[in-house]
Structure 1
Amino acid sequence: MTAGGYLDHLQKFGVHLGLERIRALLKRLGEPQVTFQAVHVAGTNGKGSVCAYLSHILQAAGYRTGRYTSPHLLDWNERIWIGGAFISDGALQACLATVKTAAEHLPKSLGEPTQFEIVTAAAFLYFAQSAVEVAVVEVGLGGRLDATNVFEPPLASVITSVGLDHCEQLGSTLAAIAAEKAGILRSGCPLVCAPLSPEAMQVVTKKALALDVGITLAEPARAVAPGEAQWQGIRYRLPLAGGVQLQNSATALATCQVLRGRGLPIDETSIRAGFENTVWPGRYQRLGERLLLDGAHNEDGAVALRAYLDCLHPKASIRWIVGILESKDAQAVLRALLRPGDTFVAVPIPDARSHPPETLAFMAQTMGLSSIASASGFSEALRLGDTERLTVIAGSLYLAGAVLREWPRLQKR
């Protein structure tokens, strides 16, 4: 069985938050997570971009750097990165085989390790085997009970944002979700935090005070020219699109500031080089002059995407192609995205549980749109409606991955 086949097979065990299994599994593997220093990044939105910036900056500064993120867009290898390269098929297969053997020796009372626990253990094992010095590790879900929350302590903890997402697992209020994100804090380990709502900030601050954790508040950078920003005297090129990157890049820079105080020299030349080299597909990604792809999958992400489009094309009506996972608040996403005069095509997300296109189309209709359709997939959706209009594919990173997988073939038509 291939690595992807094995990991897909594990999906049947679902999501079971908790640290007992992952700690037992890592112990069987010789505690690989203690062999490298970690920057642990939580947040509702923005954490992937922050991880991308930080990993490239640390690499440019001369550190052997690992990065662990989720989900992937095209294949599992994307989740595990060292020094600019994704893990090879052979190395991923070998690490998973080692983890699988260790998992088979865990007490049955712990239950079967989940898909995310297995791939997390494989990532940490690979980092240990590869003599990684520092790893940028993205929380998968929440923070407090996430499988990545095993560093005692990390070099720095980071919270990029707190919004309403994964409410079934994390709670239905900003305060409850903030408490889960703040679960990554460790005594004596500094926290870098983007500005949060008062409700969320109060929770995070209370947790930080209880643990004697210093908080560095990462105020957003300001745009100084197209594609350029400035933060505390540092001017740099912004490689990723959207106003949200003023905050995300500032969060990364504030983290670099903290890391300097923790003994990791990072100069401005490395910072600028790191930004220059950063790529992060599936986020405000141009596939053509009139085609944009974004993984906006929750209300905050949708609000940011719409603001970006309104700034870039203030009077344009948008042709939307949207697919949304069943577990997401589709009403909130569509309310943020859609405006009168837009057109809308709903699609399913391949190989995922998503809202039926007919359901999304009905929601769009109740929001006042008159040009509404559903399609069997995004390739069919691309052919529907006014192809000269700006088209935005959005609603899910899983949909973004499916589009990127098929895009080379579609271009040849």
Structure 2
Amino acid sequence: MITRLSALHPSRIDLSLDRMHGLMERLGHPERKLPPVIHVAGTNGKGSTIAYLRAILEAAGLSVHVFTSPYLVRLNECYRLGAAGGGKLVSDDELRGTLEHCEHVNAGNPVTIFEIETAAAFCLFAKHPADVALLEVGLGGRLDSTNVVETPLASVITPVSMDHMEFLGDTLTSIASEKAAIIKRKVPVICAEQAPEAMAVVEAQADRMRAPLHAAGQQWHVSVERGRLVYQDDRGLLDLAAPRLFGRHQFDNAGLAIATLRAIDAFKLNIAAYETGIVSAEWPARMQRLASGALVCQGPQGCEVWLDGGHNAEGGRVTAAALGDLEERVPRPLVVIAGMMDNKDADAFLANFAGLTRHIIAVPVPRRDNGMPPERLADAARAQGMRVEIATGVDTALQRLAALAYEVPPRILITGSLYLAGPVLAANGTSPE
């Protein structure tokens, strides 16, 4: 079915809202029948922020629909239907039926695969009652198919950095402009800490739309104190346990989720919901420790295996910082197994790891014609002064490492793309639920 739906438009990505508006009209405007929406854009941290939002809201007893992208192993991961006691991924039959309905109503008109997937989310969420719907922008914001939602409860902007320049522009200002275009008139906008040029764009758009702005470092603050998350705004201070998700950046993502829910007048959540949500939120392939599994067993005995879908310079920076924290606690030799997509900046990504490891193994991204050739990735690693090998896959790389003699079992990071992380989870037998 995915192959058939992909053929409805010659390009996988063609940013425009015209086709989406037409499809919404033919479907009877399901985007106007959604539960109250929290709309999330940004370059990095969108999925983690949504995971915190969902976990906190569910801890408060609310039902939450969630639409995120891309999926790691199967398309169902993009659609979580809210229910009392916690949501669940949409079933195969209901997803197939909804996509076929959208395809039938579309009647052969040009539409990208992501547009029809988004339309399916709106149909599903309009059909099933819930208290809140969380929508993740797929690419950019201004022309993203989720941006047909006219009046969300809140607009959220996670950290903005350089990525997808071929679609969004080659300056931070232009990229921020695309992201900030999800801000709607008089709808509160909650913004993570940004580079000054990105923050200036968000502030100007919020002012233009008369949208109340709640910005990190200004209207709210989050910090780490004695290993705990401390959040503060004009309503008071929350002293919470640390997030389960690993890395200093996860304190910032959790803080953004807290700020969002405290900025929405409709929510009056108690501290227990925040505490429970922060410590229970999960988000696969974001500094995820793979403690066991079929793939892990192929690596050196006693090794640590971590999986992270970071794929741009900023994503690499926060992953490297998390690895630095690990190294301070429990020193181990680090090996990075990396595979990237062809449109990514391998030099900027790998530069983050130059001070942590000298050993890179470049692999292809499975089943992706637009994956970066491992030879090119290897050249980028060599330019950073790293010792580079090329392997035919992650399994081969792990087997090669298992044949080496380590005094201390290594710490292995598999990274570079969510399109690499998905097959890794599938091969390891740890598919997301």
Length-normalised TM-score, structure 2: 0.88
Identity %, equivalent residues: 39
User: What amino acid sits opposite 1:251 in the alignment?
Assistant: L
Separation of aligned partners in 2, 1:295 and 1:318: 17
Alignment equivalent of 1:305, drawn from 315, 319, 323: 319
8 Å Cα contact 2:66-2:133 kept in structure 1: yes
The aligned counterpart of 1:254 is 259
The aligned counterpart of 2:272 is 269
The aligned counterpart of 1:63 is 62
The aligned counterpart of 1:358 is 375
Separation of aligned partners in 2, 1:179 and 1:341: 36
Please state whether the residue corresponding to 1:206 is helix, strand or coil.
helix
* Superposed displacement of residue 8, structure 1: 5.6
Separation of aligned partners in 2, 1:401 and 1:11: 25
CA offset digits 1:65-100 (Å, max 9, x no partner): 101101111100000102321111011011101100
* Superposed displacement of residue 277, structure 1: 2.9
8 Å Cα contact 1:53-1:278 kept in structure 2: yes
User: What amino acid sits opposite 1:282 in the alignment?
Assistant: A
Q: Does 1:41 align with 2:43?
A: no
Please state whether the residue corresponding to 2:52 is helix, strand or coil.
helix
Separation of aligned partners in 2, 1:207 and 1:45: 20
Please state whether the residue corresponding to 1:280 is helix, strand or coil.
coil
Please state whether the residue corresponding to 1:136 is helix, strand or coil.
strand
User: What amino acid sits opposite 2:238 in the alignment?
Assistant: I
* Superposed displacement of residue 223, structure 1: 2.1
Alignment equivalent of 1:97, drawn from 97, 100, 109: 100
Please state whether the residue corresponding to 2:148 is helix, strand or coil.
coil
8 Å Cα contact 1:317-1:342 kept in structure 2: no
The aligned counterpart of 1:223 is 224
8 Å Cα contact 1:39-1:136 kept in structure 2: yes
Please state whether the residue corresponding to 2:117 is helix, strand or coil.
helix
- Please give the residue correspondences for 1:155-166 in structure 2 after superposition, counting only pairs within 5 Å: 155-166=153-164
Separation of aligned partners in 2, 1:27 and 1:65: 25
* Superposed displacement of residue 340, structure 1: 6.8
The aligned counterpart of 1:399 is 420
Q: Does 1:343 align with 2:359?
A: yes
Separation of aligned partners in 2, 1:5 and 1:276: 39
The aligned counterpart of 1:378 is 394
CA offset digits 1:180-239 (Å, max 9, x no partner): 01110111101000111111111111111111111001345222344x312122233312
Separation of aligned partners in 1, 2:213 and 2:377: 41
The aligned counterpart of 1:284 is 287
User: What amino acid sits opposite 1:391 in the alignment?
Assistant: I
The aligned counterpart of 1:329 is 345
My pick for the range that moved more, 130-139 or 180-189, is 130-139
Separation of aligned partners in 2, 1:379 and 1:12: 34
Please state whether the residue corresponding to 1:221 is helix, strand or coil.
strand
Separation of aligned partners in 2, 1:274 and 1:48: 15
Please, which runs of 5 or more residues in structure 1 have no aligned partner? 107-111
The aligned counterpart of 1:390 is 411
User: What amino acid sits opposite 1:55 in the alignment?
Assistant: R
User: What amino acid sits opposite 1:166 in the alignment?
Assistant: H
* Superposed displacement of residue 336, structure 1: 1.5
CA RMSD of aligned residues (A): 1.8
The aligned counterpart of 2:294 is none
8 Å Cα contact 2:9-2:111 kept in structure 1: no
Change (3 A) 1:152 1:392: same
* Superposed displacement of residue 339, structure 1: 3.0
Change (3 A) 1:11 1:222: farther
Change (3 A) 1:234 1:340: closer
8 Å Cα contact 2:6-2:12 kept in structure 1: no
Change (3 A) 1:341 1:201: closer
